[in-house]
Chain A
Amino acid sequence: MNLRAEGVSFRYPSGVLALDGVSLDIPSGQLLAILGENGAGKTTLVKLFNGLLRPAQGSVHIGDWDTAQHSPAALASRVGFLFQNPDDQLFERTLAREVAYGPRNLGASEAEVAHRVSRALKLVGLQDMADAHPYDLPAPQRKLLALAATIAMDTPILVLDEPTIGQDELGCRAISRILTDLHAMGRTLMMISHDMDFCAEHAERLVVMLNGKIHLDGSPAEVLSQTKKLDEAEVAPPQLVRLAQALKMRATPLTVDEFVDEYKQWRKKKNK
């Protein structure tokens, strides 16, 4: 399911213009990361996608639905949303009940709910703790639980607000694996993150926002090579990219393997 924002503007009651004429087309199945400094408009933009905010100007379409015509609860069947802080949503007595809450709201049958709960918990690696209390889990695992609750909604589009925040290396690897699995299932994934290494490694497309506008939009290699524009948006490229730039390598390596390959070639050229 594709997602389209056309000339969207949004102003908060305080008077702050958070979005200023933003247009964005996201084809079905794309894994996209939205970057930018705090206050750039990232969260406001994604909240328009599930109807939590309504554009003052312009329109947002999820497939053939105009978000202005549907409530957030109705849009929840198309756009899943992982909030930054899992503790803002967890309230049930067990992990299984917590994950079941969303599908039940969407009217799934009990058999379907049980299937989705089991599948989502398995995907995030919490299947053996289905009967535990959510607050018996450490914070990083509560984030995985919130992710499972979002996945169980079975939406074609998933928005993840800072999925790696508060995660240790193991947690980041788990989230990396989950995103890869979801992407392979054909879900459209959109993440807001300050974790540049993670975004560069996983996203197919990077969108950099500045002052409520789209400042850069393209493949990670295209976007991360534009040092000056990234500087303007206060976005620092990943360490590998900065290292490659410091060495004046032409390519923009996004993973360690890519860097090693590029480095070998660069050394060869240097030695000639």
Chain B
Amino acid sequence: MRGGSIYIERTSGLHRLHPLTKVALTALCFASAAALPSLAWLLALFVGLLLPLAIWGRLTAAFLKSCLLVVGPFVISLTIIQGFFSGGETVLFRLGRFAFTQEGLLAGLTFAARLLVALGGTLLLMQSTPQAQLMQALTERGFPPRLAYVVLTAIQIFPSFQDRAQVIIDAQQARGLELQSGLLSRVRLLLPMVGPLILGSVMDVSERAMALEARAFSSPAPKTSLHSLADSPSQRILRWLLVLAAAALLAWRLWSALQ
């Protein structure tokens, strides 16, 4: 993983799925995260669906590591906040006048599990789908190419931003800027680093725009794609089922809330 891209190259069935099928799966994960009523259901979805998909995609270690890195801090902070402050009858322990309750702990864990499910779906999509393929799939379904380019560039600019930032730090260190003496020197680095970084990036964008225009980016003619994305009737059916399931879950949740 580097910069804005978390795609991991593997040869797997998950990687071969059409990007929109994975987008539909992500939508289902978000709907489930919002609609499923209990911690048990959320964990069952994670263990019963997302984890097997990660194994199928040969992404298990990276997938679990990313989940842990992102959700871990939330688990800790949410359980502490909810455990102490959301109230409840069953007191597990006390810190001074604050009581940590079982109901609060459960609420915190449930919230963290909702994040885990939503994040898990997104991670599976991003770790198994190159950004260019995702954008291609979206533009083939009518997503404006200009907007797709803006999104893709914004994601892809991170690695080059990182590289440039490192060169700038090197250049300013070579001019005597001390980095190793703590916070003050890091604050002092801001202007010498941000100035060249932004100016350089603006110049890059300007050159990139000219290079694109020189290759007929704004041409009104319909665009053809060098690569074709594999799709199949069964995947189209699967996509519809996933979207319908997501919609049904949300509708059920809404209906339950209104009862």
Contacts and interface: CB of A to CB of B under 8 A. Distances in A.
Contact of A135 (B178, B180, B194, B199): B199
Contact of B192 (A80, A87, A91): A91
Contacts of B193: 91
Interface stretch (B84-92, B139-147, B162-170, B236-244): B162-170
A212 B200 CA distance: 30
Nearest to A139: B203
B175 A101 contact: yes
A158 to B, nearest CB: 11
Which of B171, B172, B173, B193 has most A Cβ within 10 Å?
B171
A45 to B, nearest CB: 15
Interface in A68-94: 71-74, 76-77, 79-81, 83, 85, 87-92
A106 interface: yes
A50 B172 CA distance: 12
Q: Could you say which interface size class chain B belongs to? A: 20 to 34
A50 B195 CA distance: 23
Interface in A164-186: none
Return the 4 tightest CB-CB contacts between A and B, nearest first: A91-B195, A105-B176, A81-B174, A73-B178
B73 interface: no
A204 to B, nearest CB: 24
A186 to B, nearest CB: 21
Contacts of A156: none
B71 interface: no
Given A52-B170, A88-B168, A89-B171, A76 B199 contact: no
Interface in B174-229: 174-180, 191-196, 199-200, 203
Nearest to B178: A73
Which of B191, B195, B203 has most A Cβ within 10 Å?
B195
A102 B176 contact: yes
Nearest to B167: A88
Main SS class of interface, B:
helix
B175 A102 contact: yes
Contact of B175 (A71, A87, A89): A89
A21 B247 CA distance: 63
Contacts of B180: 71, 73
A47 interface: yes
Contact of B170 (A47, A80, A87): A47
B212 to A, nearest CB: 21
Contact of B176 (A77, A83, A85, A135): A77
Nearest to B203: A87
Nearest to B188: A105
A52 B174 contact: yes
Contacts of A135: 199
A48 interface: no
A200 interface: no
A149 interface: yes
A58 B87 CA distance: 62
Contacts of B177: 73, 105
Which of A72, A85, A101 has most B Cβ within 10 Å?
A72
A117 interface: no
A89 B200 CA distance: 10
